[in-house]
Every structure is written in structure tokens, then in C-alpha cells.
Amino acid sequence: MEEKKAKLKIGGQAVIEGVMIKSENYYTVSARKGKNIISMHEKLRKRKKFYSAPIIRGFFNLVDMMKIGMKSLMWSAEQAGDDDSKLTKKDLAITISISVAAVIIFFIMVPYVSTSLLGFKEDKSPFLFNLVDGIIRIIIFLIYLASISRMKDIQVLFQYHGAEHMAIHCYEDNLELTKSNVKKYRTMHPRCGTSFLLLVFAISILVFAVVPSIVGYFYPSYETLGAFYRKSLLFASRLLLIPFIAGISYEILKISDKRQNNYFFRMLSKPGIMLQKITTRKPTEVQIEVAIHSVKKAVELEAKN
């Protein structure tokens, strides 16, 4: 019997009227333009072995996915628009900077300040403070998702998100990538970025709870500082720990994805899977075709590499 080739490790993202698929050496974007499906791809830059180490790889994979995701979104936006002008690297840098700033403000600063205003003391009860801070962060995230999910364009984006997951499921199960096969699968996937974000929020509660102790260990006299400077130092320490939190969350996500037959890891994935009921929608056959096209293109490129 002929041995099956090892499956590629692929992930992806929904874009405007399309799907991006990232494999080991390339990322491919396919989008519908009129009655046709068009695509583009780029070869990924090889990283040194250091960047593949556990924990470390999680943060750098996140950075890569942000850059690739933005470039893919901007390319798909150009295809969907009437304007022939291309977005520049400067436009990309500005867009990423604004996105990062928005995340820091709404998902780190606002919950942090709100928890303090509610009367919780980070120095005295770090775990309770960060539990409330984390709950506020998750509430903001859920409100954000619920709000944008009502928008018609976002609903279409969520359909492509579902199509991406279904096509990846089909590929990972060694089935031929056809519409009838892809339609058998659910729109949720345990390795989804939505699940990753939820893990980041959960892990941050535990990690941020030890920030006062860490700061006190390396800077014993920080308690003699004024309230504003103490808070600023603690907040800055949180920002510095984000790469570490992202790294841990990435490793947990990978482990739980591989062990879905295990009850514990299946339950660990459950909240992220449930949240994907908001961020994914059942796609049309036309949208499934685009997702299939993108996965096939990624496989074809890797075969030639």
C-alpha cells in the first residue's frame, strides 16, 4: 500500500471575499473577484532555530501572523475595490501600529484602570485584582465581537472564516478537497486564533497576578514611590510580559489541538470552540470554493519547494 505523505502544518485567516492559508514556507491568499477566483502568494523568510524554541516561537508566530494577516487583508481590499492604487509599506506600518495601539488601550489599559477605579488594590490582592481585570477584558472582547457580528460585511467575513476551518479540517483528515467533502465539517477549529486570544486572556490573569512580586524582587524600593509611578511601573511590566504570555498560550493551544481525544484537553478547548460560534458562520458553496482553492494552492507550492 502506498504511504500517505505527511500533512503540512497549515493555518489561515479570512480576508475580504477570500481566505489566506499559511503553510511552512509560503502564505497564499485567494479571493473571489466577480465570477473568478484570483490568488497571490509570497515565500516566507526562514527564521533561525532560536525562533523555533518553545515559548519563544509563540510570540514570533503571532507577530508573523499579524503582518501576513494585514498584508492579506490589504491585498484582498485592493481586489474588492475600484481603486487600482496599491497600498504601500508605509500604509501597512501605520495600520499595524494603530491596531497594536488599539489593543493596548482597550484590552490592557481600560480593564486595568477600570479595576483600580472599582477599588481593587493590585499590591494587596494581586490575584483578585487580576481576576476582575481579566473578567472586564473578556467582557469588552465579547461586547466587541457581538457588536461587529451584526455588520453585514463582518458576517460575510465570518462565513469565509468558517470556510477556512472546514477546508483545513478536510485536508487534515486526508479527504479530497471537494465541496461535498468540505461541507461535512463544522466551522469551529481548536487551533483558531479566537481560541488563542481567549487563552491569552485566561493565562494573563495568572501571570499578571505575580507582577507585583516580580517588580518588588527586582526593584525593592518601588513601594516607596508615589502611587502614579508605582502604577506606571506595574503597567509597563505587564506590557513586557505579553510575549511570554503569548508564548505559553501558543504552546497550550498546540498541545490541546493534538490531544482532542483527551477529555481534559477537549474541555480546555471548549470555551474557545464556543466563542467561535460568534466568529464563524456556515459558508456558501461559493465561499467554500475559495477556501479550497487557497488550501490547494498552498499544498501545490509546498510540493514544488
Reading the chain (305 residues) residue by residue, the pLDDT tens digits are 333 454 788 999 999 999 999 998 999 999 998 889 999 999 988 878 887 888 888 888 888 888 898 889 888 988 877 555 466 667 667 777 888 888 889 888 999 999 999 999 888 889 999 999 999 999 999 999 999 999 999 999 999 999 999 999 999 999 999 999 999 999 999 999 889 999 999 999 999 999 888 888 888 887 788 888 888 888 899 989 999 999 999 999 999 988 888 989 889 899 999 999 999 999 999 999 999 999 999 999 998 87
Task: Please spell the DSSP secondary structure of the chain, one letter per residue.
Answer: -PPPPPPP--EEEEETTEEEEE-SSEEEEEEEETTEEEEEEEEPPPPPGGGGSTTHHHHHHHHHHHHHHHHHHHHHHHHHSS--PPPPHHHHHHHHHHHHHHHHIIIIIHHHHHHHHTT--TTT-HHHHHHHHHHHHHHHHHHHHHHHTTSHHHHHHHHHHHHHHHHHHHHHTT----HHHHTTS-S--TT-HHHHHHHHHHHHHHHHTTHHHHHHHH-GGGGGS-HHHHHHHHHHHHHHHHHHHHHHHHHHHHHHHHTTTSHHHHHHHHHHHHHHHHH--PPPHHHHHHHHHHHHHHHHHHHH-
CA-closest candidate to residue 30, choices 75, 97, 89, 83: 75
Per-residue confidence (pLDDT) for residue 34, from 0 to 100: 85
Cα dihedral 60, 231, 97, 14, rounded to 10, equals 60
Per-residue confidence (pLDDT) for residue 89, from 0 to 100: 65
pTM: 0.87
- Asked if 166 contacts 283 with a C-beta cutoff of 8 angstroms, the reply is yes
Per-residue confidence (pLDDT) for residue 3, from 0 to 100: 37
Q: Burial letters for 130-149: b for 16+ Cβ neighbours within 10 Å, e otherwise? A: bbbbbebbbebbeeebeeee
d(CA 193, CA 69): 11
CB contact set of 256 (below 8 Å; sequence gap of 6+): 190, 265, 266, 268, 269
CB contact set of 215 (below 8 Å; sequence gap of 6+): 222, 233, 234, 237
d(CA 143, CA 155): 16
Report angle CA 10, 19, 96 to the nearest 5 degrees: 90
CA-closest candidate to residue 297, choices 15, 3, 33, 42: 42
Per-residue confidence (pLDDT) for residue 2, from 0 to 100: 36
Per-residue confidence (pLDDT) for residue 88, from 0 to 100: 65
Q: How far apart are the first and last CA of the chain?
A: 26
Cα dihedral 151, 156, 157, 158, rounded to 10, equals 90
d(CA 45, CA 64): 10
